[in-house]
Chains A and B, each alone.
Chain A
Amino acid sequence: MSRVLIVARNTFREAVRDRVLYNLLFFALLMIASAVIVGQISMAIETVVMISLGLSAISLIGLLIAVFTGVGLVSKEIDKRTLHAVLARPLRRWEFLLGKFAGLAVTLAVNTAAMTAGLFAALWLVKHSLERGDAVVLAAAYFILLKLMLVVALAMLFSCFTSPLLAILFTGGLYLAGLFVSELRSLQVTTLTPQMQKFFAVLSYVLPNFGNYDVMGAAAHGRKIAGMLILHNTLYTILYCAIVLGIAAMIFSRKDLK
């Protein structure tokens, strides 16, 4: 386990030194600042706009990092052959993979936390007070983080057996599909045979359901989120990530490297 931590720490260090991350962070903070301005244009909904814009920015930028960096975690090492010297260590391949995941997960957590703090700062600037209702924004940010973890896991899985470009496309595509997964369940097409309906139903449970994490509406209007939802989403993420990473580890352990 400590070997996993060694890889994780190094991955975190790499992300921190990668200046692209700082640009994105700056951009996100900029977006949040502009939200304050936008709020002036639109009457009566300053906080609604700020929270939606802020959370959207955090989500989008987090997604970009999760997809592109997530795919790069493995592909860059394979392409550049930095992997060879690392695997010459008494380090199992799955430990390496898990360490990489952990490193990026921590990076994303730090990023999301920083951007959320920025959002709260902007909110405080406008409202001059923070109420209990604003805690929902925290929950929304937490859900974004959970979502990003799952995306990273998927990105790593795809990058283990396809080219980086395809991995990016597949991960992005699966994310988009995952947003509408619950629609599959209630597909009201009468031309479908019962078997097809069953198939879609099964598919809707197997595919990652990214709609679970969407609480932006509630956060923007300060409506409550059930505590059970937080618990269940957390468990869902842990479980699904474990499955995805398990498959990735199996593939990676048998893969011929360059």
Chain B
Amino acid sequence: MPVPAIETENLSKEYPHGFLHLKKKTSLEGLTMQVKEGEVFGLLGPNGAGKSTTIKLLMGIIFPTAGSARMLGKLVSDVAMHRDIGYLPEQPYFYDYLTATEVLDYFAQFHGYSAAERRERVQKMLRKVGLETAGKIQLRKYSKGMLQRVGLAQAILHDPNLVILDEPMSGLDPVGRREVRDIILELKKAGKTILFSTHILPDAEMLCDRVGVIAGGKLRGVGAPGAIVGVQATGMEIAFELPEGVAMAEQIQGKAEKTGAAYRIGVSESELYRTLEELQAAGARIVSVTQIKPTLEDFFMELVGKDRAQASAVEVSAQ
């Protein structure tokens, strides 16, 4: 059985909270999941859900209060394994007295490249993220979007097999986002494993092989974007028109929505044929019958609605 690129088991994080640190807030509870080698895995969830906490636990920035995690088969405490991992922190910030070239060169030094190799790689990376003209400018003068690009560059500069990106699209304009998407796709084509967290759903739907939804510190569901929404019960939507003078049956009238000239009514699968008959009997003209497929967004919003109170209370790690 191939070793999963990322594997967590009951990973949990509690923070001491309140006066005298007597209370505890749970930031992440019992996270058990796997990311397969070569896949693009999206970590979705509202703010404060625990996505960043998960990633920070993986990268050894914070330490779990329970459970364990492995990356590339080794425990996350084994820092040597970072050689093969790239990480883009959320809202990255780098030494602002250095230039982009210097920062990338500094990071590259830890991977044991020769000076010539480093120069080459750094230039390549700058070009890849569109910063080749800004290489000599001090980072203190960089915009948020430019910093995000530097962040991406330092994450992939050593050609790691596993790339972890925390909110890679934040701070970028649509062009930038497209570029990042392209880079992710490029990495995927090269066989890399990618884990990224985001709350931009269309991106997740487009890029990810699988997504994991985290809310309120718990994993709510894992699967292909389509599969997740497929999990929820669907229904059928009937669109119909009422010719002049035809009245609607009472039960139907209450539930139908009028948009323009047509009416729409949502019914469960079991009620479908009965409703159709009623409509037919009433003299309505059936325009279409379609399956209601909730989008990832609906799923998401439902989740958020349920857990909003909990979610906002949970994000304790000092932002």
A residues near B (Cβ < 8 Å) are 3, 6, 10, 13-14, 17-18, 80-82, 84-92, 254, 256-258
The verdict on A18 contacting B92 (CB below 8 Å), with A87-B59, A256-B63 known, is no
A88 touches B85 (CB 8 A): yes
Cβ A257 vs Cβ B61 within 8 A: yes
User: Across the A-B interface, how many residue pairs have beta carbons closer than 8 Å?
Assistant: 68
Interface set of B (CB-CB < 8 Å, partner A): 56, 59-63, 79-83, 85-87, 89, 91-95, 97-98, 106-107, 109-111, 151, 154-155, 317-319
Q: How far is the CA of A85 from the CA of B88 in the complex (A)?
A: 7
Contacts A88-B85, A90-B83 aside, 13 further interface pairs with beta carbons under 8 A come to A6-B106, A17-B97, A81-B89, A81-B92, A85-B92, A85-B154, A88-B86, A88-B87, A89-B82, A89-B107, A92-B79, A256-B61, A258-B318
A77 to chain B, nearest CB (A): 9
Q: Evaluate contact between B82 and A85: CB separation under 8 angstroms.
A: no
Q: Which residue of A lies closest to B63 (CB)?
A: A256
Closest chain-A Cβ to B24's Cβ sits at a distance in Å of 14
Chain B residues with CB under 8 Å of A257's CB are 56, 61-62
A80 contacts across to B, CB distance below 8 A: 93
Given A17-B97, A82-B95, A84-B89, check contact A90 B82 (CB 8 Å): yes
Whether B97 lies near A85 (C-beta < 8 A) is no
Smallest CB-CB separation from B57: which chain A residue? Answer: A256
CB < 8 Å neighbour of A258 from B80, B94, B317: B317
With A82-B95, A90-B82 as contacts: A6 and B61 at CB distance below 8 Å: no
Output the least CB separation between A22 and chain B (Å).
13
**How many angstroms from the CA of A35 to the CA of B114 in the assembled complex?**
49
* 21 A-B pairs (CB sep. < 8 Å): A3-B110, A6-B106, A6-B109, A10-B95, A18-B97, A81-B92, A81-B93, A84-B61, A84-B89, A85-B92, A87-B60, A88-B59, A88-B85, A88-B89, A89-B111, A90-B79, A90-B82, A90-B110, A91-B110, A256-B63, A257-B62
